[in-house]
Chains A and B, each alone.
Chain A
Amino acid sequence: MKHRVVSHSEKETFAFAREFAKTLRGGEVVALIGDLGSGKTTFVRGLARAFGIREPIRSPTFTLMHIHHVKRKFQIPNSLPDRQAGKFQIRTLVHVDAYRLQNARELEEIGIGEYLGKPDTVVLIEWADRVKDILRRSKKVHELRFFHGKELERKIILKTKKARAVAT
């Protein structure tokens, strides 16, 4: 998949999120970094939709953490070779917002430890640059940076730490 995209609409951001969803295997942390209104929550909404989550994805700025369950029957469209497809199952999306937090310790105190690195869980953290320690301690981290472009454009750049660990 592309690691740099320019999105002109919610629809295009959703399409990128869908592509990204196919690379997830469970146990990852997805760090979402970017200014206000740069499309972080929109991306999470697209990702949740790719996982077949129907309930509304609301901003966790005030509520800090939302847990969304992936329907059991839902399988991620897998881009892996056939013999590996179906080996991975993601059951839970954890949507966190660090906007009101000062450091990683606060994130631990709201109970994130229960979900980090869990094989059937993907943890999405908005404003992840505010809680960098959590990222340093996590094994599989995808970093997505969001930028405002001209007019309605948004640039999204994906970086993956330990890409190899993710691929196996």
Chain B
Amino acid sequence: MRILGIETSCDETAVAIVEGRGEKVRVLQHEVASQIRIHARYGGVVPEVAARAHVEKLDLLLRGFGTRDSELGRDGKGIDAIAVTAGPGLITSLRVGVDVARTLAWAWGKPLVGVNHLEGHIYANWIGHATCNTQHVTFPAVVLIVSGGHTELVLMTGHGKYRLLGATRDDAVGEAFDKVAKILGLGYPGGPAVSKAAERGNPDAIAFPRPMINSKDFDFSFSGLKTAVLYRVRDSNFKLQTSKFTADVCASFEKAAVDVLVEKTIRAAVKYKAKAVLLAGGVSANRRLRKDLGYAIAERLPTTHYSLPTLEFTTDNAAMIAAAGYFRARKRQFVDPMKLEPKANWQL
């Protein structure tokens, strides 16, 4: 089954076509518009967040898909269904993707699926390489979704069946990375910059707090950790602010954040007798997180399967939306193209 996926929930405009077969999804084509240079005709930078920018980019991407001897085919003949992110996100941005998807579904007579953005991140784990045989994920699975805007622990009891176990109460972990980079003047994007500096640092140099690590629930809080870093940098002797100091702050911060994420994920996996632990979202590209979670699972839950998405599909993209759409389409969970509305606060 071939699915066209469309994603416009926040900054990125993305389109993809995937092919689903059994428990596996293969990406045939995928494009994220921020990678494409669009020369603004009126001489200014088009803001990424603007609905208008989404319209222009989506138009360009779909045209591109249409002209190549593409998988899309004429009038969508190459696909079986359309999947679109319907929330959560910015209502103005979501509406662009949803309206385009509705229109195409109606015009081409294709069934339509509304996908939750977080569900998309989860299904990045089902996208396999053509060459390697990924192990099937078995349920129940505990999923840790970490990105700039999200930090969520989700229990997945089957395809499309979710229960939110916990979430951040203030800042997402990706945001904390970004702001620490800002505090230390490391530039943008902050997450990778902090991780890079951390490689040369000592993770035990500074005892940063591990917020909520002992709380009984599965919620997170990273605002206090960010402030702790701020105070440590502010109160340090200015002369000591060498690259060694920066590296130690980064390494100690990263360790503190990852420790909390790993501990809560493991505890959730134990409590719900998870057969698999999945990582998802942009921060799942973080090396320490990938490694430490892997070690913790091997040590404390040796029979549990550990799944990581391919790096390329950790940040916002449409292939993951199409992948999630495939599993819904397989169960014929379609929506009426006349009725699909974007939901800014859609809970998984």
Contacts and interface: CB of A to CB of B under 8 A. Distances in A.
A62 B149 contact: yes
Interface residues of B, number: 34
A59 B170 CA distance: 6
A109 B50 contact: yes
A109 B91 CA distance: 11
Contact of B179 (A36, A58, A110): A36
A58 B49 contact: no
A37 B231 CA distance: 9
B10 interface: yes
A61 B181 CA distance: 14
Interface in A9-60: 36-37, 41-42, 45, 56-59
B90 interface: yes
Given A58-B171, A61-B175, A62-B10, A109 B51 contact: yes
Nearest to A152: B231
A44 B89 CA distance: 20
B89 A58 contact: no
B223 A106 contact: no
Contacts of B129: none
A30 B238 CA distance: 35
Contacts of B234: 148
A110 B90 contact: yes
A109 B167 contact: no
A56 B164 CA distance: 14
Contacts of B92: 109-111
Interface string A92-136: 000000000110011001110000000000000000000000000
A63 interface: yes
A61 B171 contact: yes
A106 B171 contact: no
Contact of A58 (B50, B90, B168, B178): B168
A112 to B, nearest CB: 10
Interface majority SS on A: helix, strand, loop or mixed?
A: loop
Interface string B38-76: 000000000101111000000000000000000000000
A58 B169 contact: yes
B186 interface: no
Interface in B115-161: 147-149
B47 A109 contact: yes
A46 to B, nearest CB: 13
Contacts of B93: 110
A60 B148 CA distance: 10
A67 interface: yes
A41 B223 contact: yes
B49 A106 contact: yes
Interface size class of A (residues with CB under 8 A): 20 to 34
Nearest to A111: B92
B230 interface: yes
Contacts of B230: 36-37
Interface in B292-348: 344-345
Contact of B345 (A36, A45, A59, A67): A67
B110 interface: no
Interface in B81-102: 88-93
B341 to A, nearest CB: 15
Interface in A54-77: 56-59, 61-65, 67
A127 to B, nearest CB: 12
A25 B52 CA distance: 34
B41 to A, nearest CB: 17
B10 A106 contact: no
B50 A106 contact: yes
Contacts of A109: 47, 49-52, 92
B276 interface: no
19 contacts: A36-B182, A56-B170, A58-B169, A58-B172, A61-B178, A62-B148, A62-B172, A64-B10, A64-B90, A67-B344, A67-B345, A101-B49, A102-B47, A106-B49, A109-B47, A109-B49, A110-B49, A110-B50, A111-B91
Interface of B: 10, 47, 49-52, 88-93, 147-149, 167-172, 174-175, 178-179, 182-183, 223, 226-227, 230, 234, 344-345
Given A36-B179, A62-B174, 7 more contacts: A37-B179, A42-B223, A61-B149, A61-B178, A62-B148, A64-B49, A67-B345
